[in-house]
Structure 1
Amino acid sequence: MLEGRRKRVLIVEDEAMISMLIEDMVLDFGCEIVGPAARLDHALTLALQGDIDIGLLDINVDGSVVFPVADVLRFRGIPFIFSTGYDFRSLPERFRDCPALSKPFSYDTFAETLRSAFAGNSGLRALA
């Protein structure tokens, strides 16, 4: 799916079954997994210290919002994709132009969103 070296994808997701499905898709695309992180503190540590090419961030992680992780990734120049079962209008203004997936999302939608994010199309908003 992606050219060059294996891309490293940070997965932040607190639902074990969803995390496993996402991990399978990421591996299918020839990428490596960073994490997964099911808690905000673990996600922040990985975002600060990890060798990451892109992040996939569930907005609500174990009762906390993931926006501090997104801020760290943005500061490091690492693209990210939000995933949520909630309304995108709840995103803070600073993240309204970020790519986002609506749960549940399809394999094809996830693949296209990941390709677009790697290609730098940060304004893409994909809906399943």
Structure 2
Amino acid sequence: MPERSLRDCRILVVEDEYMLADELRTELGDAGAIVLGPVGNVEDALELVQSEQAIDGGILDVNLSGEMVFPAADLLTDRGVPFVFTTGYDASAIPSRFADVVRCEKPINIKKVTQAIGRVIHS
């Protein structure tokens, strides 16, 4: 099912852990998605969001080497782009404006994250 729902979807991946970013890229690619990134810091995430005309969804690590991803999340929200957070933080660490954003707890299950992004894109 994720293969069908992600086919040709342009998905932004923001993750600073190289191995995890690579696993996400591979899994999303195998599901037929077009992966934007991955990028590992807020500056690159902001640049990519601003430069890409079409983004269908995003997978955002909340903490990128000590810097919070929320400015990129705000840009995606402004554009109406759905996304999920990956994080080891509990809900209290996430600003209330993102209360409805799906959180995938770390350590993440790659399949569950790809299923979650498929659900938010197509909901």
Question: 1:15 is matched with which residue?
Answer: 17
Q: Which of residues 60, 66, 72 is equivalent to 2:69?
A: 66
Give the TM-score normalised by structure 1: 0.86
Q: 1:47 aligns with which of 34, 46, 49?
A: 49
Aligned length: 120
CA drift of 1:107 comes to 3.5
Q: What's 2:29 paired with?
A: 27
Change (3 A) 1:96 1:34: same
1:107 to 1:62, Cα distance in 2 relative to 1, 3 A: closer
- With over 3 angstroms needed to count, the CA separation of the structure-2 counterparts of 1:89 and 1:4, relative to structure 1, is closer
Work out whether residues 2 and 115 of structure 1, in 8 Å CA contact, stay in contact via their aligned partners in 2. Answer: no
Q: State whether residues 40 and 64 of structure 2, in contact with CA within 8 Å, keep that contact through their aligned partners in structure 1.
A: yes
Contact 2:11/2:59 (CA < 8 Å) preserved in 1? yes
1:78 maps to 2:70: no
Match of 2:122 in 1: 119
Q: 2:113 aligns with which of 104, 110, 114?
A: 110
For residues 114 and 24 of structure 1, the distance between their equivalents in structure 2, rounded to whole angstroms, comes to 15
Task: Quote the residue 1:96 is aligned against.
Answer: 99
In the TM superposition, residue 67 of structure 1 has moved relative to its aligned partner by 0.4
Unaligned runs of 5+ in 1: 121-128
Match of 2:40 in 1: 38
Over 6 Å off, 4+ runs: none
Work out whether residues 12 and 38 of structure 1, in 8 Å CA contact, stay in contact via their aligned partners in 2. Answer: yes
How far, CA to CA, are the matches of 1:94 and 1:110 in structure 2? 21
The alpha-carbon distance between structure 1 residues 47 and 71, as it changes in their structure 2 partners (threshold 3 A), is same
Overall identity of the aligned pairs, in %: 36
> Secondary structure of 1:30's match?
coil
Give the CA deviation at 1:119.
1.8
For residues 32 and 115 of structure 1, the distance between their equivalents in structure 2, rounded to whole angstroms, comes to 13
User: What per-residue deviation string (whole Å, max 9, x for no partner) do you get for residues 29-78 of structure 1?
Assistant: 11011011111110001111213111110000121100000000010111
